[in-house]
Amino acid sequence: MENPIYCSNPKLQFLAQRQEISDSIFRVLNSDTYILGSEVSNFETEFATYLGVANCVSVNSGTDSIILGLRALEISHGDEVITPSHTAVATVAAIVSVGATPVFIDIDALSYTLNPNSVIEAITSKTKAIIAVHLYGNACEMDLICKISRDFDIHLIEDCSQAHGAKWRNRKLGTFGILACFSFYPTKNLGAIGDGGAVVTNENELAETIRKLRQYGWDKERVSQLSSTVSRLDELQAAILRVKLLSLDSGNDKRRKNALRYSELLKDSNLTLPTVNPNAEHVYHLFVIQTPNREQIIKEMNYCQIFPGIHYPQPVHLQPAYNHGKNSPTFKLANTEKIMNNILSLPMYPELSESEIERVCEVITKFDSTNHRETDTELGSMK
């Protein structure tokens, strides 16, 4: 039986960098500081330099990065935050956690990122922020979104949890908004071996507020100036991320190469393949296709020891915890609801081999051609 192929496989990244990661872990174990020490401060400096921003404040998770970002901007009860419903629940959970109201808008049918025209329609006197989610590793239409943010004097927050190293007009994502939030969950393009996250910003005072919020609101004398709990990136994860940051760009190049191979092998199929805006540089956190035969294809793949994913099977506005009917300021989300039964995430990670990609595509094309023949036979019998 052939080896299984998973949608993501962070263990392979560890194996590829086993010695460097092991050395970094032992470096921490042999140090005398395990919380907010030199590994954290060095990673923050290195990640900020990589992106081209002034400040990076690391935290416990990507969810916390959004929560602390919203809190630093004093967004809370009575405020509205515009965001796509087609996103990880974490984006919306963070908005609700600070007491604000998520306003769900539709996505662009081709890029799967938020539709700028929908943003304009959703703005009210209560709107305090837009969270632009760079989904699947693809950039939002930043020219228009930035203009909307400026014209309406609304904070722009970038959710870059799936877009480490991605660009818009040759400028790295995470540098457009007043702040940007990152997740270092193990499956991300830059993933820890555990939870982790960060907020980046060019606003020094904002960064200092976030540093206080991540640790009980303390100032340098450990006096709580703000009411907060704790959300810290630990030294072990920071050390691991420092190792992985060095290979982020080469890993993204491999993802793009794998995406190109997928597109070449599937170009004659009946699938809807990813499209990329010519102004964007995609980093393919996920390679997402659309097919009306999703469940049958998944069944065929699983039989062949291939395990794709669905990101995401149900948009947030339809989930019980966030579906509040008429009380929820949600607009018509035609594209969001249209794709939810058709999207399928094919295996995607830098260590994915060409033979494995060919194996995935072979199952898909075989099903696709068989399904075509059956359909043609049915049509013939109807003539």
- The domain ranges of the chain are 6-245, 248-382
Amino acid in position 75: I
* pLDDT above 70 as % of the chain: 94
Across 154-169, average pLDDT:
98
* Whole-number pLDDT of residue 145: 98
Contacts of 301 (CB under 8 A, 6+ apart): 307, 308, 360, 363, 364
Q: Contact 251/285 with Cβ under 8 angstroms?
A: no
Whose structure tokens read 């809370």? 76
For residue 84, list its beta bridge partners.
105
* Whole-number pLDDT of residue 167: 98
Query: pLDDT by residue (tens digit) across 54-99?
Result: 999 999 999 999 999 999 999 999 999 999 999 999 999 999 999 9
Across 204-209, average pLDDT:
98
CA angle, residues 213, 219, 220, in degrees to nearest 5: 130
Burial group, residue 194, by CB count within 10 angstroms (0-12, 13-18, 19+): middle
* Whole-number pLDDT of residue 202: 98
* Whole-number pLDDT of residue 323: 85
Grade residue 329 by pLDDT with cuts at 50, 70 and 90: low
CA separation, residue 152 to residues 77, 123, 143, 149, 158 (Å): 20, 8, 14, 6, 17
Distance CA 159, CA 133 (A): 5
Across 217-236, average pLDDT:
96
Query: pLDDT by residue (tens digit) across 257-314?
Result: 999 999 999 999 999 999 989 999 999 999 999 999 999 999 999 999 999 999 999 9
Terminal Cα-to-Cα distance of the chain (whole angstroms): 43
CATH class of domain segment(s) 248-382: alpha beta
**pLDDT exceeds 50 at position 335:** yes
* Whole-number pLDDT of residue 368: 76
Query: May I ask the CATH architecture of the domain 6-245?
Result: 3-Layer(aba) Sandwich (3.40)
* Whole-number pLDDT of residue 72: 98
For residue 129, list its beta bridge partners.
81, 155
Distance CA 41, CA 185 (A): 19
Window from 72-81, 161-170, 197-206, 317-326 with minimum mean pLDDT: 317-326
* pLDDT above 90 as % of the chain: 92
* Whole-number pLDDT of residue 332: 85
**pLDDT exceeds 50 at position 382:** no
Grade residue 326 by pLDDT with cuts at 50, 70 and 90: very low
- Closest C-alpha among 243, 244, 271, 238 to residue 361: 271
Q: Contact 188/137 with Cβ under 8 angstroms?
A: no
